[in-house]
Amino acid sequence: MSSNSATPALFDSAIMTTAVKDAFRKLDPRELMRNPVIFVTEVVAALVTFLWIREIVNHNGSPIFSGQIAAWLWFTVLFATFAEAVAEGRGKAQAASLRRTRSDTLAKRFRDQAGLKGPVDSINALDLRVGEVVLVEANDLIPLDGEIIEGVASVNESAITGESAPVIREAGGDRSAVTGGTTVLSDWIKVRITAAPGSTFIDRMIALVEGAERQKTPNELALSILLAGMTLIFLIAVVTLWASRAIRAPSFRSLFWSRCW
């Protein structure tokens, strides 16, 4: 038996520490090129930082103004990479939690696999083989994917489906299949293992979390387009403000008085 794995907390200290390191690692332009908006922002931030350093060295211009623009640009880039790193960290933590659940689960395997009666042995779920029958009682985790051959029970499948309401699983019919990692809430069932360790539903979930490229939702695509437009407007505004500094106050006054007189 094993307890259900908890979903990693949103502000878990381990996830946040790793995310801070990954946020700086993701500043690599080769990483950011996958996100054109943030990549352009980083390029402009580097350019503004160069101009800020040049103004400090040459003692001309407005280094305070340049420094503020550079700081806000770098903050925007770091916030974006940090948010992405947190999302990836939570996914990895969830995969690790699922892996621990699988490896820590103990199964009650019948010693007499022919008669399915008598005493049972408590073994690790990873030691089970396809075709073996296990006994799963109330508050036990189902060790691996299988099919109920005897009994009826209420099963909590929230770890797999996200649905908190328990479901009834029983031998025979189309409700006999059970998934490893779910919990029996009441009664007992005898389950024949149908999937070997490494090819269960939880293993596929872990592979998807760790290796699959998640497709963007329509809302995320719309947000990306919005951010691209706002980035363009921001760049135009910055360039305009920078160009306006080229108009020196004395020259402007001279032009104004010459026009008036």
Residue with token string 């008085």: 257
What pLDDT does 16 receive? 79
What's the CA gap between 164 and 159, in Å, rounded? 9
Q: Which two tokens stand for residue 179?
A: 């998934």
- pLDDT tens digits for range 105-137: 788 888 877 777 778 888 888 888 888 899 998
Domain boundaries, the chain: 13-102+207-260, 106-198
> Residue 106 forms beta bridges with which residues?
124
3-state secondary structure at position 163: coil
Neighbouring residues of 250: CB distance < 8 A, sequence distance ≥ 6 = none
**209 and 168 Cβ atoms separated by less than 8 Å:** no
Low-confidence ranges of the chain (pLDDT < 70): 1-12, 61, 95, 98-104, 209-217, 219-220, 223, 238, 241-261
pTM for this entry? 0.51
Strands 106-110 and 120-124: antiparallel
How many other CB atoms are found less than 10 A from the CB of residue 26?
22
How many other CB atoms are found less than 10 A from the CB of residue 196?
15
For 198, left (φ over 0), alpha (ψ -120 to 50), or beta? left
Single-letter amino acid, residue 30 = R
Q: How far is CA 140 from CA 2, 3, 184, in A?
A: 7, 8, 6
What pLDDT does 13 receive? 73
- pLDDT tens digits for range 83-108: 878 877 777 777 677 666 666 678 88
**CATH topology assigned to domain 106-198:** 2.70.150
**153 and 166 Cβ atoms separated by less than 8 Å:** no
Given 3-state DSSP classes, what are the helix, strand and coil percentages for the chain, each rounded to the nearest 5? Answer: 55, 15, 30
What's the CA gap between 1 and 137, in Å, rounded? 10
